[in-house]
Structure 1
Amino acid sequence: MSEQTTPERRVAIVTGGSRGIGRAAAERLASDGFAVVINYAENRTEAQTAVAAIGTAGGQAIAFGADVADETAVSDLFDLAEETYGGVDVVVHAAGVMKLAPLVDTDLGELDRMHRTNVRGTFVVDQQAARRLRSGGAIINFSSSVLGLALPGYSAYAATKGAVEAITLILARELRGRDITVNAVAPGPTATALFLDGKDQETVDRMARMNPLERLGTPEDIAEAVSFLAGPARWVNGQVLRANGGIV
C-alpha cells in the first residue's frame, strides 16, 4: 500500500542510509520534515530498523535495496520514491566502500570494487538525480577529507573520492538554469564502522587528535552539514564542504 504525503512535504533519497553517516543523514532529514527513502545494499534489517526509528519519531520513511552501481536498480529506486511520495527533491549519496593498503600492496580486485561503488555508483545515482529532481532540489555527494591529507594507505580510496569531487563540480555547472544545487561533503575521521574497521586504538586516538577540536567526528556532525546543504544553503553550489573539525 502506498503512502501519500501533503504537497508541501519534500522528499529525500539517502543511499547507504542503513547505518553510519547515511543513517544519521536520513534521520536528520526526516526530523527536518522530509519523507525519506533509505537505500541499502545488503543491510535490510538495519535499513528497516532505521525506518522504524524515523516512524517512532513521527517521520515518514521507507527502505529499498539497490546496488548503486546498477542503473536499472537505481532507476527503480527513483521510481519507488516518485510512486510513493510524488517526486524527489534531495539526493544524499552516502553509499561507499573503503579498503586501505599501500599502493604497492593494493589488491586490484579491491580497487575495482571501490571504483564500481564509489565512482560508477556516484555517476549512476547523480545521472538519475539530474534527470528527475524537482526544481529547488539538491544533490549531495560524499567525498573525504583524506583526499587533501594524502595519508599513506589511502591511495585507492582517495582516488575514487577525487573522481567524486570532479563529478560534483562539473554536474553543478551542467545543471545551469535548473535551480538544483550540487555539492559534496568531505568528512574527516568520523566514528563509524567504516572508519573504525581494522584500526587499533592508538591509530584511532592519533587521528582523533589531528583536528583542533581533538576528537573524532560523529555521524550527527556530518548529518548537520547535509541538512544545511539540503535546506537553507541555496546559494552554496558546486562546492566541497570539508566537515572535519578543522584539519588542515
Structure 2
Amino acid sequence: MRRHLLRLLALLALCFVALQAVFLLRVALMVVVDPQSTTFQRSEAWRLLVEKRQILWSQDWVPADRLSQHLQRAVIASEDATFTDHSGVEWDAIEKAWDRNQRVQARVAANPKARVKIVGGSTITQQLAKNLLLSGERTVLRKGQELVVTLMLEGLLSKQRILEIYLNNVEWGEGVFGAQAAARHYFRTDAARLGPAQAARLAVMLPAPKRFEKRPGSAYVVGRAATIQARMDDVELPR
C-alpha cells in the first residue's frame, strides 16, 4: 500500500514538473513569437458559437511602436500603477484584496441576497498569465499556477514585451480584442493615433469591457477617464 502511494505521489510530481515545463516553453517562445490566441479568447469564441451561432471577431496585432504611448500610459495608470517597478506580483495588494473579500464573504453568509463585488489584486502580468494560458475558474490551485506563470513571464520577457502582448490580446468588448480592434471599434482610428482622452476612455473599460461597451459615454466612464488622464503624465513607460 505504501509503495503504491509513493508511486502515485511520484507520478503526480512528474506530471506537475512536465506541466510547468510546457508553460515555460510556451512563455519562452513569446520572446520572439507573437501569441496568436489566448485561452480566454478561445473560450469566448466557443461561447459565441454556442450562444449566437456565429463568431463576430475583431483583432489585429500591432507591434509596440504602433501602440499609442497615451494608451500605454493610460492602461498602466488605470490597471497597475507600479507596473515598471514590481516583479509581477503586488503582495500588499493581494493581502488587501484578501481581507476585503473575507469581509464580503461574511456579508454573504449573513445575507445571501446581498449584492457584493469580489475584489482582485492582479497586476498586468498576472492578468496576462491568466488570460494567455489558464482557465477562468477561481480556485486556490489555479491561482497558484497563475503566480508561477506570472514569475515565468517576468523572468523571460521584458516589461515592454509583456505590455505589448497584453495590449494586443486584452478584451475591449464582445469579440473585440486588442488595442487596434478597440481603436477601430470605438473611435474609427488606429491604435497608434489614439489621443490622451481616447486612451483614458479605453483604459476605463478594461475591468468590465462587456458592460462598458453598452454605455461607453456614461458619466462614470467620462469621470473615471478624466481621473486617469490626469495621472498619465506621471506614468513611467517600460523600456
TM-score by length of 2: 0.26
Q: RCO greater where, 1 or 2, for CA within 8 Å and sep 6 or more?
A: 2
Structure number with the higher helix fraction is: 2
Structure number with the higher strand fraction is: 1
Structure showing greater radius of gyration is: 2
